Structures are given as structure tokens and as C-alpha cells.
Structure 1
Amino acid sequence: MATEQDFQASAQKYLVSASNARTFVEKVLIGSGVSGENAAIVADCLVQADLRGVDTHGINRIPSYMARAREGVLDATISPEIEFRTPVVAQVDGRNGFGFLATKLGMDAAIKMASEFGIGMVSVKHSNHFGMSAWVVQQAIDAGMMSLVFTNSSPALPVWGGKEKLMGVSPIACGAPAGKTKPFILDMAPSVAARGKIYKAKRRGEKIPTDWALDSEGRPTDDPRAALEGVMLPMGGPKGSALSIMMDVFSGVFSGSAFAGHVTNPYDPSKPADVGHFLIAMKPDLFMTLDDFKERMDYLYSRVVGCERMTGVDRIYFPGELEQLEADKRQSEGIPYTRGEIDALNSEATKVGAPPLEIAE
């Protein structure tokens, strides 16, 4: 039986550089049959999440992804395919491969179409979990584009008035570039908290706030295990519920992927996930010059962060700014992982003969 001392040792955190984390993931994936090019894409997306402090969607997802690959319900060796339907519309078939690959291919296409025609729209079918939505938004921002990024996910939320898991905790994300200030990056779930935070608490032996979820008996709980057996709570009651349904319409119904409670949980190695995504890229200078747009974004930023603060608030942040500041910090200092997380990752490395994760001195 594990002692308190064992738990404390497992929960102790160690710093890993972003480059070491990226190299580690690449080698584990290549050892699992993933091409070098595709492994680099997946590794970069996962490490971006860890850098931004979104630890629930970082490299700690590797064990669950590899478990699904070993069971044959995620094809780690496959590359997605794209079909253009109109000059501004395309569909990507993820072919049950990594969601990161299908999504990157889709946003690349949306950006290319938007560069020529002002807007590009891509529907993605037969995909898998693509981690943190903000990396897709950042891909568009890096190309000077505004974007909308939707996905559906496995059942976790009840619809308003219901009690069973039916809708996913499906994030809504969007972004816009700016001039001299931070870009606008919104990436949020329609639940009080992202489900990945509950998995993270379970992994680390931590409790959760009692307003995040209900147990299987419909009671508030601070136990992540009980929460995962129950339901997540939507933010804003019926508003959060409606947003989760919207994600299912645009990502699942529209694409031809699973919907209405039939997407498979990314931690479930029993069958393919069949996730759908919806991506739009837009040129920000369609109605004014790019300089004018960026000046207006900078003005919006200054108005938001410079507005009069409520009592007890030291600073106001623009959407996405906290995560960008955390990324700057972790890029220089390293990414913190617990010993338990490192052990789980190294176990995956051992299975494929890859070297262990290097901890910063």
C-alpha cells in the first residue's frame, strides 16, 4: 500500500526544457511507427500546451494516445487526406489518425484559401483529440489570420434539464492578430472546468472544487474519480449547454463524424473516436488596411487591460495573455512535471526502446 511519503515523492515536480520534451515525444512516436514529419507536428502541439500552462493537454496525453494506438483504435501511422469542394471550402479526412495532423492540414488549407479569397473554411471528419485548441488559433495568427476553431468531444455534460452524459466538453476557440500588443486568443470549454483538469487531479492525487462536477448520484463532489463517473457541470447553466450543442452541430453533424453522444472518450481504447472539427481562417484586412486593423486591436487591448479595476484586482489580462506570459516563463525556466507523470511517460519510452525524458539540472 502506498504511503504518504510515496505520494509526496510521486507529486514532486521536476523541470524539463521544451526542446527535451519535444525530442522525447518525437522519439516515442517514431518508435511507435509514426513518420518523423508527423511526430514533429504532434510533439510541437503537445509541448505548446505545456508551455502555456495547459498541462491537461500536453505530453501527459501520450500514454492514453499510445494505449489507443496499441489497441488499433487510433492509427498512429496514417496521414490525413484533403479534398477541395469549392475555392474556399475543403474537407479533411483524418482517417482515424492523430487529430493534430488532420487539424494542421485543415488550417494550412484554410489559411491558403483565405490568403487568396479572404476566407477559408475546412470541415474535418474521422479525426481524434487534437489537444489544446489554442495551438490551432496560434497557427492562424502566425500567418496573420483571424480564426474560428471548433471541435466536438465525448459525452461529459448533460443537456440543460437532463441528467445523463450526452454533450462533450467541446472547446470554442478563436483569435485575431494585433500590432504591438498581445494577440487575442480565446480557448474555453462550455463547462465550469475542462474535463482534462479532472484527469490531471486524478493523476496527481488532488481534490477538485465542488462546483466542477456531480458524482453518479448527482451530488457535488471534490473527488476527481467520482466526478469522472458522474457529469461535468455546464458554465452558465443553459448557456453552456447550448454552446456544447453548437459544437456538435458544426463539428459532428456538419462533417459526417460522430455526434449526439457517440464520440469515444480519448482515454477509452475500445473503439475509434470519430471526432469532427470545424475551422475558419479570415484575412483581417478585408474591410480596412492591415495597419488600421492592428491599430484597432491594440486600442482594444489597451482599453481592456487599462480599465478601472474592481477592489482586490491588481491587473486585468486580455484573453490568452496569461497563457502567453506563462509560455515565456516556461520557455526560459523549463516545464514542471511530477515524478509520477515522468515515470508514466518513461514507461511509454521503454515500450518502444526510446530514451527517457531528460530532466533539467
Structure 2
Amino acid sequence: MAKTSYFHAQDLTDYAAEMFRTVGMSDEDAHLIAGDLVKANLRGVDSHGISRIPMYLERLRQGLVNPMPDVKVTKVAGAVAHVDGDNGMGFVPSHVAMNTACDIAAEMGIGLVGVHRSTHFGMGASYALRAIERGFISMIFTNSSPAIAMWGGRTAFLGASPIAAGIPGGKHPPYVMDMAMTVIARGKIRLAAMKGDPIPEGLALDLEGNPTTDAAKAFEGVCLPFGGVKGSVLGTLMDLMSGLLTGANFGGDVKSLYFDHSEPQNVGHLFFAIKPDLFMSLTDFGARMDTFYERIKELPRAAGVDEIMLPGEPEQRREMQRRRYGVPVTANVVDDLIAEGKAAGVVFPAGAAAPFKAA
């Protein structure tokens, strides 16, 4: 097991922002992306956190990602807009799109925004949380580079293509869902490969189509869809709605974030925002959400279960804990970030060998 150090979230955010500025990003965009990456770590989604910085920087340095994109928003219908990401970091056009969808929904009741010429946009929950901050229900679709097979196929064709959604709560936590079409997020297999850890059976196949517990071979091979044919069907929906519909790459054409440095990815996303008080007052909506939350807490629990939680609640609690005790980062990730910083003249922050306070 790799040694782990603990860091203040703000220190990691400052480091990440400075690293993105070294490759030509604006201060605003650098802080936006740094904040989203560290937010993923805070919520325990370490596969989508700061461990990705070296890979993102490499694509920026090679000119595959535009550090200063001219993101354009075009209104195409009463409640619909189209965003051209100009091959920028996917975080940037995606936040523009989510905010645009919320602006439209404030006026029309519902807003729909499609994005093309984008790249990997990080943790999908980032956009659901942004919509919740603004008081809106949201759904977020994206496609991605080939990772899973069509049902009945044996080669990667569909992306892991996560779906995210958020529903504001009342006095209790909101509903936040973020899940890939793979049994686990492909980024988690990548993180296991970086650590040299094995993965459980049933997650992936190697390049020859054989089941494997070797994370490195699995990452180069084919991920298995969750729920068998159902995961494959949902992955197909993500590709059609996020890629084909928006004008982005689709049908196996999205370039690999890790292995293909031939040209930009042209990832597609789709953002929905909905006013929660379309059919009742906001007060009534919040009260109904509270009732739902309280009912699930009172449900009979399965053996060995201490508490039933709403989707997003475990991540919210983990964030509170990590803000207090520190963000854990494994030694291999720390080494990579130190090396990146040294090459760019940026000092990686000092960590602690143990959580800041006794739990």
C-alpha cells in the first residue's frame, strides 16, 4: 500500500492553479479547473482529482487543448443554446453551459445546452453541484473515448460516458448522482494502475479479451458495463445525446485522453436545468424533499447497514472530513506532482504524514 500524505485543500488548489497558469491559462480558468479537481479529491473521487494534472498539462503542452479558448454561446431555440468549446479544457465550456442552462431555465422553466469541441470535463458532479447552488435541478450527459463494448461486441466502442444529476434539498442534503456506465469509473482503474494495486474480478478485460485483475492491463483493455446489457444501452444513449446530437465526435471517434495525441478529442456534453417550482411552490418542493429524506432514514436496514443515505450524502460527509483533517494523496501521485512542479518552477506544498487532527 502506497504511503499517504495529507494536505490542506487550499494549498493543493493554489498549486494546481499555478501549474495551469504556466501553460498559458488565464487566472480565472486556472482557478476554476484547480477548484474542480480538488473538489473531486475532497469528495473522495480521487480518480478525477489532482492525479490528472500531469496528463492534462501534457495535452496542453502538445497543443491538443487550447489554454485560452474563445467559448461561444449561440441561442438556437427558445430554451436551447449551443456552446462551442474551442477545444479548451472541458471544465471551462461546461461551466459556461451549466450556467447558461440555469439562466434559460430561470426564464423558461427549463434550459437545454449542448456542447461540442470540448475535452474531458472532470467530475460530472461539479456541474450538478453548481446548478444546486443556483437552485436548479440538473442532468448532465457526456460521451468519452472508447472504453466499453457494445453489447455483443468485444472491442471498445462506447465511452465510460458518465451521467450526473442534482436535485436541491430542503433542510436536508440534496440529491447528487454521478456515475459512469462502467462497473466502476475508468479513472479508478487508472488510479489503481498508478498505485500498482490489483482490481477485483469482473471489472475489465485485457487487450486480448480475457478477464483480468491487473489494473494496467485493464486500463489498456476493455471496461465492462455495469448491469450488463443495461449499462451498454445507457452508454449508447450518452453517445447519441452528447456526441451525435451536439455535433461532437461520436461512435468511437472521441480521441483517447491518455493514448491518442494525434488531434483534439472533440468531446460532447449535454446540460439540462429545470426550475424545481414548476408545479408547486419552492417551499412545498423543499418540504417534499425533506419528507423523502426522512422516510429513507426510517426504512428498515439490511444486515450490516448502519444508515441508509441519499445519493451524494457520503461524498458530502467525506468532504467535511477532508476539509478538517486534510486531503489524502498517495506517494506516487505526490512524486508526479513534485516533478511537474520542479520542471515548471512551482513548489509543491508540504504535506503531513498523518491527518491534521485526531478523528
TM over 0.5: yes
Amino acid at match of 1:73: L
Q: Structure 1, unaligned stretches of length 5 or more?
A: 1-7
The answer for the alignment partner of 1:31 in structure 2 is: 22
Residue 165 of structure 1, aligned match among 145, 148, 156: 156
SS in 1 for 2:323: helix
The answer for the alignment partner of 1:181 in structure 2 is: 172
**Deviation digits for residues 235-287 of structure 1 (CA, Å, limit 9, x no counterpart):** 11110000000000110001100000111121133321110000011100000
**Deviation digits for residues 117-172 of structure 1 (CA, Å, limit 9, x no counterpart):** 11111000000001110010000000010001000000010011110100000101
- Between the aligned partners of 1:330 and 1:266, the Cα distance in structure 2 is 28
Q: Please list, as runs of the form range in 1=range in 2, the aligned pairs for 1:246-265 lying within 5 A after superposition.
A: 246-265=237-256
- Between the aligned partners of 2:72 and 2:8, the Cα distance in structure 1 is 33
Q: TM-score, normalised by structure 1?
A: 0.95
**Contact 2:93 2:115 (8 Å CA) reproduced:** yes
**Contact 1:349 1:356 (8 Å CA) reproduced:** yes
Q: Please list, as runs of the form range in 1=range in 2, the aligned pairs for 1:203-242 lying within 5 A after superposition.
A: 203-242=194-233
The answer for the alignment partner of 1:350 in structure 2 is: 342
Q: Please list, as runs of the form range in 1=range in 2, the aligned pairs for 1:92-131 lying within 5 A after superposition.
A: 92-131=83-122
**Contact 1:177 1:183 (8 Å CA) reproduced:** yes
The answer for the alignment partner of 1:3 in structure 2 is: none
**Deviation digits for residues 323-344 of structure 1 (CA, Å, limit 9, x no counterpart):** 1110110111111011211111
Residue 347 of structure 1, CA deviation: 1.7
Amino acid at match of 1:41: L
SS in 2 for 1:66: helix
**Runs in 1 of length 4+ with deviation above 3 angstroms?**
none
Residue 190 of structure 1, CA deviation: 1.3
Q: TM-score, normalised by structure 2?
A: 0.96
- Between the aligned partners of 1:350 and 1:210, the Cα distance in structure 2 is 38
SS in 2 for 1:124: strand
SS in 2 for 1:277: strand
Alignment length (residue pairs): 352
- Between the aligned partners of 1:320 and 1:79, the Cα distance in structure 2 is 33
- Between the aligned partners of 1:346 and 1:94, the Cα distance in structure 2 is 30
Residue 305 of structure 1, CA deviation: 2.7
The answer for the alignment partner of 2:48 in structure 1 is: 57
Quote the RMSD (CA, aligned, Å): 1.2
Q: Please list, as runs of the form range in 1=range in 2, the aligned pairs for 1:12-51 lying within 5 A after superposition.
A: 12-51=3-42
**Deviation digits for residues 68-116 of structure 1 (CA, Å, limit 9, x no counterpart):** 1111111123242211122311111111010000000001111111111
The answer for the alignment partner of 1:304 in structure 2 is: 296
